[in-house]
Amino acid sequence: MASSDCRRPVMVVVAGAPGSGKSVLFPVHRTGFDHFNFHERCAELNDGSRVALPAEARTRARREHARFIAEHVRYRRSFAVESNLVEDATLRHARVASRNGFITRLIYLRAADVETLIERVHKRSLGGGAVLCPEQVAELYRGSIEKLDEASAVFDSVTIFDNSHRPTPTTSRPRGERAHAYLTAGLNAFESGRFDEAVDAFRQAIFLDRELADAYQHLGLAYERLGNWHLARHVFFELARLRPDDPATYFQLGMACFEIHSWKEAAEAFRDVLALRPTDAEALQRLGVCYNATGEPEKAVPFLLRAMSAKLSELRPGDASSQLHLALACCDLSAWPEARSVFEEIRRIRNSEANGEVKGVV
């Protein structure tokens, strides 16, 4: 029902100390009444920023706030505002509104301890919110609580919610639905090449549902596209926990480790691939290269030989990369005749390719 339909106008005050969750749990606009959020108005007057607010912005917002309430009380129009109750103005306004026939309703959000609020304000400030030092939060917390008794005698109804604890991190339906919405948004951004945006969306999806493997997978791929192999490695490591039987995940993990030259970790990931997919030519070759890189050419040789064989079976005769790494391993082992033989094989492959023979075969 719209406010104009109400027989008596309503004044709603959403109150609590900083960090109590006023704007998130009960944003005043959700009442459907005319509303005024002092802090939002300050930010509007400061180009959208809540930090480094100039004094003029606060003064102007304060004036507008007072005028907003006075006009609504005078014309008996329902309205909603936020307050931390510390100043006397809120209770004064409520008394005047009550005398003018308003139903006055207070929603008060409390936390069990001030430390919770201090931490929330700190996190919020890091995310672009207003900056308040712990002493200020504590002072406002005490001031706000002290006013609650008096407020109870002024308002027609007082509803107190304990907001000490964050919502339980479950995969309840709304949370799961939200996670999938972020996943879809991320996939759209990824497909459009907006990888930074995709990363944000995938991370939010993972936050809401930490078992959402598709989000991990594409987050890792997005990091790859952004060239951030360290973060890609971390994500694929997490994904491997969710998909322990997926060789593709281990391969992606191996590739991320490979790119940051974390050879031993890469080798372990490629071995995991081969445990699940023994003839994976790329994994065989990469594992051989890892062994070469860690000064273990004798371990590299059998994997590179298997890689060559696998590539032949995959009809990839023009790919001489395994032979090249095999030749390097042979050099490291001072197996010169074998190295020469492999180099000759590489030359033969490349000549064939240049003459178009390989193309014909493929």
Partner 1 sequence: MSESQPDHNFDLSDDRQWEQWCEWELQCGRERVMDEEARLYSMGIIDQGGRLATDRRPSETHPPVSASEEAL
Contact status: 16 vs partner 1 (CB under 8 A): no
Q: Which is nearer to partner 1, 25 or 276 (CB)?
A: 25
Contact status: 153 vs partner 1 (CB under 8 A): no
Which one of 60, 180, 194, 203 is in contact with partner 1 (CB under 8 A)?
203
Question: Do residues 273 and 250 make contact, with C-beta atoms less than 8 angstroms apart?
Answer: yes
Contact status: 140 vs partner 1 (CB under 8 A): yes
Between residue 210 and residue 239, which ones bind partner 1 under the rule CB under 8 A? 210
Q: Which is nearer to partner 1, 42 or 330 (CB)?
A: 42
Round to whole Å and give the CA distance between 30 and 41. Answer: 17
Binding mask 245-274 for partner 1 (x = CB under 8 A): ------------------------------
In order, the DSSP letters of 150-173 are HHHHHSSEEEEEE--SPPP----H
Which one of 10, 189, 256, 267 is in contact with partner 1 (CB under 8 A)?
10
Judged by CB under 8 A, the stretch of 58-66, 287-295, 296-304, 347-355 that binds partner 1 is 58-66
Contact status: 41 vs partner 1 (CB under 8 A): yes
The amino acid at residue 69 is I
256, two tokens = 């991320």
Round to whole Å and give the CA distance between 48 and 65. Answer: 18
**H-type alpha helices, the chain:** 22-25, 38-44, 55-74, 89-99, 114-126, 134-154, 173-191, 195-208, 213-225, 229-242, 247-259, 263-276, 281-293, 297-313, 321-332, 336-354, 357-361
Contact status: 352 vs partner 1 (CB under 8 A): no
* 166-180 burial: b if 16+ Cβ within 10 Å, else e: eeeeeeeeebbebbb
Judged by CB under 8 A, the stretch of 30-38, 270-278, 299-307, 311-319 that binds partner 1 is 30-38
Contact status: 99 vs partner 1 (CB under 8 A): no
Contact status: 354 vs partner 1 (CB under 8 A): no
Contact status: 204 vs partner 1 (CB under 8 A): yes
Contact status: 192 vs partner 1 (CB under 8 A): no
Which one of 8, 63, 340, 347 is in contact with partner 1 (CB under 8 A)?
8
Contact status: 207 vs partner 1 (CB under 8 A): yes
63, two tokens = 């004036």
Q: Which is nearer to partner 1, 12 or 339 (CB)?
A: 12
Round to whole Å and give the CA distance between 153 and 161. Answer: 18
